[in-house]
Amino acid sequence: MTTHHHHRPIQASTFARVGLVMYLLLIIYASWYPFVGWHSNGLSPFAYLFAPLPHYWTVFDVVTNIIGYAPFGIFVVFALYPAVRGVYAVALAAVCSVLLSGTMEAVQTFLPTRVSSNLDFLTNIGGAIAGAIIAAMLTPKLLERSRFLQYRRRWFLREAGRGFVVIGLWPLAQIYPQGYLFGHGQLIPILSSWLSDWYATSIDLGAILRQGVELSPEQYWLSEAIMTACGLTGALLTLLCLLRKNAPTALLATLLMISALAVKAMASALFFAPENAFAWLTPGAQGGLLFGTAMVFGLAFAPPVAQRRIAAVMLVISLLVVNIVPANPYFVVTLQTWVQGKFLNFNGAAQFLSLFWPFFALWFLLHSVHRQKEN
């Protein structure tokens, strides 16, 4: 019997292209955070380009800028593959980094909490070029013949690239301090602050939605359990929507949950104090984790279409609850010990993920390409 070996044509990476868009949004949010106090100081937005190099700078600032833009260069090169490769891909990544960093620094001229800097501009570009060079060197190994590709084709659907980005961002979304475990998408307090500044009067949209109802301790516990259970179920079911029937579902779902909880614990210990590493593991959170795990176990055997729809419903419920329930009183006290300082860019990026991850997940779940699961 003669065996024919068919080599799959090299295809563009959906993961890289969606990841590039996500990371671009992340850079924009982190660069302009906290988006308040916009005004003109009479300087040209591009005056920083011709100013002397800053007299005061730290190694931390330089390293942070380089590391922050390196993934951008990597994503650009991977997103261009296979249409553009090698030196040409690195050159295009360099041009994109000049345009992006130049725009970010120029707009910071209008923000009182930001300082436009030609040193930041240069180190951002350097980081992007370094990332692009690394990506160009690793492209053949990662995008053509890596072991990851073998597992990806064996366990995951062909159109799972967008989902990889969404699922990969979920553990990182736990970094920003949240009042409730998996309490992502809490936009109401931010909108209230913006409206209060705009109309020069105090506006609390959360109180309006609650219609003045005060929650008892038991209702706080129940609300947190609902948020935790729905957030966990929505995230893990989103992962299940990417898997083929022969994939190790239980193992992958468990690893994803453990990674999210581990990131949450490490971030809490870093931002506050080591003894607060598990301060978020309240009775409500514990109940939500148990209930959410049980729900995912049962729904693992449901039809793919049902998994996708239930995941979307769970995320919507979590969004509604987290935006209606008032702030956790214990968390408000703990948050007072959080000093952002020179981590302003990092905290802006972390907040971006915390706020918008549920919407990214809903975009993926409701995308027409993923409405039918491939067997």
Q: How far is CA 118 from CA 29, 101, 203, 265, in A?
A: 20, 10, 39, 37
**Nearest to 177, CA basis, from 285, 331, 282:** 331
| Segment of 12-21, 158-167, 248-257, 332-341 carrying the highest mean pLDDT | 248-257
Q: Please tell me which of 19-28, 89-98, 217-226 the model is most confident about, judged by mean pLDDT.
A: 89-98
Least confident of 16-25, 174-183, 201-210: 201-210
Answer yes or no: is pLDDT of 90 > 60: yes
What pLDDT, on the 0 to 100 scale, is given for residue 5?
41
Q: How confident is the model at residue 155 (pLDDT cuts 50, 70, 90)?
A: confident
Write out pLDDT tens, residues 237-268: 999 999 988 899 999 999 999 999 999 998 88
Tokens at residue 160, please?
């799972």
pLDDT in tens, 212-225: 566 677 777 898 99
What is the value of pTM for the model shown?
0.71
Task: Lowest mean pLDDT of 15-19, 158-162, 200-204, name the range.
Answer: 200-204
- Check: CB of residue 77 under 8 Å from CB of residue 90: yes
Q: Which residue has the higher pLDDT, 137 or 374?
A: 137
Specify which residues 226 forms β-bridges with: none
285-to-87, 107, 224, 289 alpha-carbon distances in Å: 50, 40, 6, 6
Within the chain, residue ranges assigned H as helices are: 14-32, 59-80, 86-107, 118-143, 147-155, 161-172, 188-199, 205-210, 217-240, 249-271, 283-299, 304-324, 329-335, 344-366
Least confident piece of the model among 116-125, 169-178, 199-208: 199-208
Tens digits of residue pLDDT in 54-66: 877 778 778 888 9
Going by pLDDT thresholds of 50, 70 and 90, the confidence category of residue 374 is very low
Q: How many whole angstroms separate alpha carbon 22 and alpha carbon 180?
A: 24
Within 13 Å, how many C-alpha atoms sit on residue 285's CB side? 14
Q: Which residues are registered as beta bridge partners of 113?
A: none
Which pLDDT does position 3 carry in this prediction?
41
Distances (CA, A) of 308 to 88, 170, 244, 357: 40, 17, 14, 16
In whole angstroms, what is the distance from residue 192 CA to residue 209 CA? 12
pLDDT in tens, 181-193: 998 998 887 777 7
pLDDT for res 275:
76
Band (pLDDT 50/70/90 cuts) for residue 9 is low
- Lowest-confidence region among 184-188, 284-288, 354-358: 184-188
